[in-house]
Chain A
Amino acid sequence: SQQGEEDPQALSIQEGENATMNCSYKTSINNLQWYRQNSGRGLVHLILIRSNEREKHSGRLRVTLDTSKKSSSLLITASRAADTASYFCATATTSGTYKYIFGTGTRLKVLA
């Protein structure tokens, strides 16, 4: 399977703390995206980072990309109970087919 891996699989933190999730992938990519999914719901796009970018910010989110290590991280600062969800990375290969492969996901629980 081409599926990427994320760690940790599950993370439980207190409100106000930062949460860091990591994603590793196997093939050369065009870009990498992070998504959030609340239980039983659809996906919410969080951020896209292209292969020639190293870091990107969006509000309380910070994403880094290290193509040499084939890894990315998502940092959520000052977490809130509403951030409780599953987070997935998805990579688009360089083959030009737009095909996305999802990581295994991290289940984040933010305790109030």
Chain B
Amino acid sequence: GAVVSQHPSWVICKSGTSVKIECRSLDFQATTMFWYRQFPKQSLMLMATSNEGSKATYEQGVEKDKFLINHASLTLSTLTVTSAHPEDSSFYICSAPQTGISYEQYFGPGTRLTVT
């Protein structure tokens, strides 16, 4: 099956700093990628849809200036958490559909962000 990678797998940062998380589709092109966040013992909440060559689409309640998304190429999307605070600590997961084949999503392994 298709593979999606994320980097880093975990990161610890100080409050007020910015953190960038990468999501790559390794063996297929993805014009669309999705970013989710997951708090402990909770489900995945869709944050935004990343679109190659255009602006991301954010879900209601997600601050676009706080969570910057850049879909730089057909295989790379980045999520930057700006001026991170402890409440941003979470598990961030990206996914990508293999367009044209099926609607099946391929998920990255996730990035655990801890803000101290």
Q: Are A98 and B110 in contact (CB-based, < 8 A)?
A: no
Q: How large is the interface on B (under 10, 10 to 19, 20 to 34, 35 or more residues)?
A: 20 to 34
Checking B45, B103, B106 against A30 with a beta-carbon cut-off of 8 angstroms, the contacting residue is: B103
Task: Specify the main secondary structure of chain A where it touches its partner.
Answer: strand
Chain B residues with Cβ below 8 Å from A30 are: 103
CA distance A97 to B43 in the complex (A): 21
Q: Are A101 and B105 in contact (CB-based, < 8 A)?
A: no
Q: Are A40 and B112 in contact (CB-based, < 8 A)?
A: yes
Is A56 in contact with chain B by the CB < 8 A criterion?
no
Task: Specify the main secondary structure of chain B where it touches its partner.
Answer: strand
Check A103/B93 contact, CB under 8 A, given A41-B110, A48-B104, A92-B103: no
Checking A35, A41, A100 against B46 with a beta-carbon cut-off of 8 angstroms, the contacting residue is: A100
Interface 0/1 of A43-84, CB less than 8 Å to B? 101001000000000000000000000000000000000000
Checking A40, A88, A98, A105 against B97 with a beta-carbon cut-off of 8 angstroms, the contacting residue is: A98
